[in-house]
């Protein structure tokens, strides 16, 4: 019985191909829009998480100022001292390792090729805070760190622009006017938080950068690795209290430094992208309701057109339930066909947009199944009234209909 009813419904749809397509267009657009928005939102969230995670987990970046800019329009806040680093290392519970950094910029030159980059003066603790292995070469020796030798480890971007396919280890290049022996190359990390290229740097012993480039012993950044057993928020509060005391900041005054918590930023950005995805998907879902109204409208027109056919069926013995089932199955079939086409369209759109948005392609079976089920439910909800109207026709009145 069901298969006979389904066959009749599909034949009716096939007789009016263009009208059936236009009827399902709202469902197609609605399903495609919802699946596309949710999938791209999930891919974006995953990309954000990966981007922030590349900065390191359980890491606090301590910088002078009130943000990544100078802030406030006043004089630039004082940089940190090595004594601040030692105080954090010794006095704050939960600190696993602290890496101090002196930063500047310079032009790296090798055999006619040049590249402007960031010069990061630090110690081997830099490679411990956020484990960053070497693709080739070695780290600094204790003698090189203590004596401030002009040796350097290249980021992958600098290596590519200066050396192309050559092995740079053992060569000598110039950076900011200094001759520097290349002892290693870092593994490439790619884009980090906020789109910054993490591989565009040259790492040198901090004393070499301070003595030969910046001309002072100031420390621009402190990277604090937090033990997994401690909360980053707890350690951040302790560091804030310690630095306020050391920098003589009286109660009521704003901090002249800020602490960038990668874990909190990751959670905040994930929540934001999830919320935006939900809002956009809810707006896109409205087209599903519009598509359902379109199905109901066309089904009412179909009932009017086929009134005489319905009367004949009822007159020769068909019961009202069979007529209702026929039109209800037809509405569901239209809605499900629209759902299937919408799912296929969504995958094509996603495949086209992921390279433009620079995110990975994701296929989420759950959202696809849910979207298809919703399209079927819309067929039931909006198809019931026309089907009920067809089933309630009086056979005599229906046969007289012209």
Q: How far apart are CA 323 and CA 299, in angstroms?
A: 13
How many domains, in total, are found in the chain? 2
Q: What is the pLDDT of residue 230?
A: 87
Which of 255, 284, 302 corresponds to the end of one domain?
255
pLDDT of residue 295: 81
- In a domain, residue 262? The reply is no
Residue 126 lies inside a defined structural domain of this protein:
yes
Residue 62 in domain: no
**Contact residues for 119 (Cβ-Cβ < 8 A; gap 6+):** 103, 104, 105, 106, 175, 176, 201, 202, 204, 209, 213
Last residue of one domain, picked from the residues 222, 255, 288? 255
Q: What are phi and psi of 342, to 5 degrees?
A: -65, -40
Question: Considering the domain boundaries, does residue 69 fall inside one?
Answer: no
In a domain, 67, yes or no: no
Q: Is 370 part of any domain? A: yes
Place of tokens 């007159």: 315
Distance CA 70, CA 159 (A): 31
How many beta carbons lie within 10 A of that of residue 260, not counting itself? 18
pTM: 0.61
- One digit per residue, the tens of pLDDT, for the chain of length 402 reads 556 666 766 677 777 777 778 778 888 888 888 888 888 888 887 777 666 666 667 788 899 987 655 445 557 788 899 999 999 999 999 898 999 999 999 999 998 889 999 999 999 999 888 778 899 999 999 999 999 999 999 999 999 999 888 899 999 999 988 899 999 999 888 765 555 778 899 999 999 999 989 888 889 999 998 888 888 888 999 999 999 999 988 888 888 898 888 776 667 777 777 777 777 777 777 777 888 888 888 788 777 777 777 777 777 777 777 777 777 888 888 888 888 999 999 999 999 888 887 788 888 888 888 888 888 888 888 888 888 887 777 666 666 655
Nearest to 31 by CA among 335, 282, 343: 343
Query: Could you write out the DSSP letters of every residue in 74-123?
Result: SPPPP-B-HHHHHHHHHHSTTEEEEEEEEEEEEEEEETTEEEEEEEEEE-
Residue ranges making up the domain that contains 24: 2-51+267-400
Quick one: 105 and 32 in the same domain?
A: no
| Residue 57 falls inside a structural domain | no
Q: Which residue, of 255, 282, 298, is where some domain finishes?
A: 255
pLDDT value at residue 16: 72
């Amino acid at each position: 019985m069901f298969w006979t009813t389904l066959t009749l419904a599909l034949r009716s749809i096939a007789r009016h191909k263009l009208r059936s397509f236009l009827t399902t267009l709202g469902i197609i657009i609605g399903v495609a829009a919802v699946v596309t928005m949710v999938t791209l939102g999930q891919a974006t969230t995953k990309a954000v998480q990966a981007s922030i995670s590349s900065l390191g987990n359980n890491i606090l970046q301590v910088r002078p100022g009130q943000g990544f800019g100078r802030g406030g329009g006043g004089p630039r806040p004082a940089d940190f001292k090595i004594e601040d680093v030692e105080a954090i290392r010794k006095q704050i519970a939960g600190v696993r390792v602290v890496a101090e950094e002196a930063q500047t910029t310079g032009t790296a030159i090798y055999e006619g090729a040049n590249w402007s980059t960031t010069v990061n003066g630090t110690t081997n603790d830099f490679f411990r805070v956020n484990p960053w292995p070497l693709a080739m070469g070695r780290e600094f020796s204790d003698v090189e760190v203590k004596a401030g030798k002009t040796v350097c480890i290249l980021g992958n971007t600098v290596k590519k622009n200066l050396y192309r396919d050559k092995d740079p280890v053992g060569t000598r290049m110039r950076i900011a006017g200094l001759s520097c022996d290349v002892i290693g190359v870092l593994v490439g990390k790619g884009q980090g938080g906020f789109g910054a290229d993490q591989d565009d740097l040259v790492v040198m012993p901090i004393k070499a950068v301070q003595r030969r480039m910046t001309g002072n012993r100031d420390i621009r950044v402190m990277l604090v690795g937090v033990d997994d057993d401690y909360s980053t928020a707890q350690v951040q509060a302790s560091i804030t209290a310690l630095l306020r005391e050391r920098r003589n900041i009286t109660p009521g005054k704003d901090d002249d430094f800020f602490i960038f918590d990668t874990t909190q930023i990751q959670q905040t950005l994930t929540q934001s992208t999830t919320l935006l995805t939900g809002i956009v998907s809810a707006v896109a879902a409205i087209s599903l309701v519009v598509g359902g109204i379109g199905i109901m409208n066309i089904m009412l027109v179909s009932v009017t057109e086929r009134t005489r056919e319905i009367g004949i069926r009822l007159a020769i013995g068909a019961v009202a339930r069979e007529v209702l089932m026929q039109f209800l199955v037809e509405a569901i079939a239209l809605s499900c066909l629209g759902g299937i086409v919408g799912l296929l369209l969504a995958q094509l759109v996603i495949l086209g947009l992921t390279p433009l948005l620079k995110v990975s392609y994701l296929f989420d079976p759950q959202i696809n199944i849910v979207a298809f089920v919703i399209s079927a439910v819309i067929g039931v909800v909006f198809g019931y009234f026309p089907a009920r109207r067809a089933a309630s026709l009086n056979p005599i009145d229906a046969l007289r209909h012209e």
